[in-house]
Amino acid sequence: MADISDVEKRTALRREVIAIRHNLDEAYRAHKSAEICKQLIQSLDMTLMLTDRDPSHTIIAVYSAFPDEVQLHDFIENAYEKGCSVAFPVLVKDAQSDNTTTQTMEMRIVDQTTYESIMQVDGSGQYIAEPTTPTHQVKAPESFLANPLKTYYHHDPSLADFPYVHARDLTMIVVPLVAYDKHGNRLGYGGGNYDRYLTQIQDGTRIAAVAFAEQEVNEVPVEAHDIRVPIIAL
């Protein structure tokens, strides 16, 4: 376990970089997101070519972006158009008890129609998730698209329309981050969800963590369970 000084250092760094990212110009973030998506598309194309994998048998894991994160819409749409399945993270608890604080992250497939039904374009041309309202009912998409921090019980009926995907069945996974360094060390949001999840994927699964160049720091304080990842940052 990290000592308190390391914990404090990570917390302070997390707060500092999130503020930097949040203060980036919206149009700049949108432009950089589009450029990063181009690199992700190239990476997916290369993966499909090298593995000779049928896109219809390919599952790509992405994430529901916060407004100031790298937006993945262009990459997600490209994956759908290729015929790939696209999965999004869901936070789940195994036991239906309010006494447990243990949660894990799993991936659930979202079909293209459902994904597109809850996306809208904001003033900067950036795609964002639109939370479901009583007049905008779609198969419970707010569960993990418009509200990615919401925790569900593993067998929650609202997840039934979204097939569970085991980590070992992924062809590619795109990982968010708060900060990174030149050594490939990634600082997340502090929950350890991706560090735990990435231990379950197969060796051949392509990993890409994405960020804006402004999120690079001199050194990310690392812990024993942290996993280094390839990073695409512009």
CA 97 – CA 20 distance, rounded (Å): 38
CA 82 – CA 94 distance, rounded (Å): 34
pLDDT per residue over 35-65, tens digit each?
999 999 999 999 999 988 899 999 999 999 9
What average pLDDT does this structure show over 68-82? Answer: 96
What average pLDDT does this structure show over 3-27? Answer: 90
| Assigned fold of 4-233 | Rossmann fold (3.40.50)
Cβ–Cβ under 8 Å, residues 56 and 83 = yes
Cβ–Cβ under 8 Å, residues 79 and 174 = no
Given a cut of 50, whether residue 138 has pLDDT beyond it is no
Given a cut of 80, whether residue 225 has pLDDT beyond it is no
Confidence of residue 96 (pLDDT cuts 50, 70, 90): low
What average pLDDT does this structure show over 109-130? Answer: 68
Residue 130: the pLDDT is: 52
Residue 124: the pLDDT is: 43
Residue 122: the pLDDT is: 45
Q: Report percent pLDDT > 70 for the chain.
A: 85
Residue 174: the pLDDT is: 98
pTM (predicted TM-score): 0.87
Given a cut of 60, whether residue 168 has pLDDT beyond it is yes
Given a cut of 90, whether residue 129 has pLDDT beyond it is no
Residue 42: the pLDDT is: 97
Number of other CB atoms surrounding residue 4 within 10 Å: 8
Where does residue 56 rank: exposed (0-12), middle (13-18), buried (19+ CB within 10 A)? Answer: exposed
Residue 97: the pLDDT is: 53
Residue bearing tokens 């949660």: 103
Number of other CB atoms surrounding residue 100 within 10 Å: 10
- At residue 34, φ and ψ (nearest 5 deg) are -65, -40
CA 98 – CA 87 distance, rounded (Å): 27
Q: Which two tokens stand for residue 163?
A: 């097939």
pLDDT per residue over 144-155, tens digit each?
787 888 888 878
